[in-house]
Chains A and B, each alone.
Chain A
Amino acid sequence: MSPQEHTAEAGDHDSRTFAYLVVAGILAFLTAFEVWVSYVHALQPVLVPLLVVLSGAKFALVVLFYMHLHYDSWAFSGIFLPGLALAASVVIVLVGLMVRFFAGF
């Protein structure tokens, strides 16, 4: 590995460290916001979609930056994302089916 490459990579990683800290700030803010939202009475009717979006954003930030999917080979996304998609659909479909079942469709 040539010295230039080395420096370039080091620079890349410095900017990564910066990104990690920014993400940490956003995560802390989003969590605080989530907690605040859950206590606001006026927001109760839209609480579920709101929280899904907020925690979805937190989830995505951790996966993209801390778990490096943003930087890494597409192969890792290719392994994880289908599993995640199936997991999400399992929750939605299973809950949907069972709720209809309890309600006597």
Chain B
Amino acid sequence: MASHAAASGRKGWRMSFCLSNPLPCARALSPRGRSMVNNLKSYLRRAEFAALVAMPVLLAGCNPADFPASTFAPRSDLGHWVQGVYLETIVWDSLILALICGLIFLLLTRYSTRAREDQPGPPPPHGESIELEIAWTAGPALILLFIAVPSLRIVFRSQPATPPPHSLIINVTAHQWWWQFDYPGLGVETADEVHIPVGRPARFLLNSADVIHSFWVPGMGGKRDVIPGHVNELTFTPDTPGEYIGECAEFCGLSHANMKFRIFVQTPVDYANWLANQTSGPRNANQGAAAAGEHVFLTSACTTCHAIKGVSSGYIGPNLTHFGSRTTFAGSIYVNTPANVAAWIEDPEALKPGAQMPPLGLRGKELDQLVAYLESLK
């Protein structure tokens, strides 16, 4: 059953990613190119970048769009800043590595004496040059300076003392092993999937309900640890609508691998529509299987942990008010299909080791009704 659910889930994902993933390299280059230096820089970046993209493509033998969590496809201001520093460092690193490898290559071709190794002659001459030693001390120091200055500028720019005006604040609470998103002042609470409008700074205030996690959206440019008892913050302005994978990056226990989330960057209109739907209560389930399912929900243990606006008020597990409107569930690792949800309710532990939701013992018709109810919560 579980494997069936997982299989169907996989298929669904693949489709969703083929549709929603832009080419990682499409907008990687800085649009600025004012001077010769910048031209040269951008040329170097282009070359380096081509190599970096070519490598996984060669190795994996497939399309770059197949890397939905790539760190080389920034779609936010933060992402572009980070990538600027990243590529610059890669260029310097490659030059240094080429120098070292070149020297060693020359060394091996010129001085290798394997053939006459057993006839020791007089020791070869040797001498030292203080100029050389100064050069290889000062050279790297200079390169480090070139690397450090732009990088430190970004450090300060990405962590401003005052948050940008008009930013959308989202409170993130990390749980073992799912993400809770609250929109303060808007009365919206969702899990594992968060929607933000394009072009507006999104300010994620991060807190943890249990252990340390880390909030990472590779496409948005970086991660920030989520520490219990402390509010951390990550701010970025997305620039391209789309669906982006988020991951927990800090080991947080048994199902650390199963703690993903998704960011939906939407056009202002789409976002407004989504918000309007979320701020309203759940659709009334007044007929058919869904109505029976609501009864199952109310009479089972579900209500102790899960909230549905106007129906129940549990707070331990994810808020289910608009469960049917989400594309994935359970730490965003399963596609939200009736079959997957049914499999989950039957045995959460089998689908996600350590899951804190207990098996409820619901079978057959009751289970189908409950699933129908949950899926009706659009």
Contact = CB atoms under 8 A, between A and B. Distances in A.
B227 to A, nearest CB: 9
Contacts of B231: 104
Interface in A70-105: 101, 104
Interface residues of B, number: 2
Interface residues of A, number: 2
B310 to A, nearest CB: 37
B59 to A, nearest CB: 41
A100 to B, nearest CB: 12
A103 to B, nearest CB: 11
B230 interface: yes
Contacts of A104: 230-231
Interface in B220-239: 230-231
Nearest to A101: B230
A101 B230 CA distance: 9
Nearest to B230: A101
Nearest to B233: A104
Interface string B159-187: 00000000000000000000000000000
B277 to A, nearest CB: 35
A18 B230 CA distance: 57
A101 B227 CA distance: 11
A41 to B, nearest CB: 35
Contacts of A101: 230
B157 to A, nearest CB: 16
A104 B230 CA distance: 8
B231 to A, nearest CB: 7
Nearest to B232: A104
Interface string A45-76: 00000000000000000000000000000000
Interface of B: 230-231
3 contacts: A101-B230, A104-B230, A104-B231
